[in-house]
Amino acid sequence: MSSITLKRIQTEYSMLLSDPPERFVAYPMNDDLFNWHFTISGAEETEFENGIYHGVIKLPTNYPMKPPSIMFLTVFSFLF
């Protein structure tokens, strides 16, 4: 893991804190900058509206050269 990677993650985290997105929250798990929890609310006028969805983001040690992995923990179910 490089100091460039840590600096990049810390910068992006600072941006999230200073100008948070409207329907998205993310934060490191146990101060581990490579493992995050996130919550996103469903977009209006979609089948996801009024839903709150939780997941995990895992950043690789060579981020941003490799993408993060994202896993939703919320079980999705639809009534059509």
Contact between 37 and 54 (Cβ < 8 Å): yes
Long-range contacts at 73-79 (CB < 8 A, ≥ 24 apart): 78/47
Domain 3-72 listed as CATH 3.30.450.20 = no
Output the six-digit token pair for 27: 């934060």
Q: What is the largest CA-CA distance in the chain?
A: 49
Rounded to two decimals, the pTM is 0.84
Contact between 72 and 53 (Cβ < 8 Å): yes
| pLDDT (0 to 100) of residue 64 | 93
Q: What is the pLDDT of residues 15-45, one digit of tens each?
A: 999 999 999 999 999 989 999 999 999 999 9
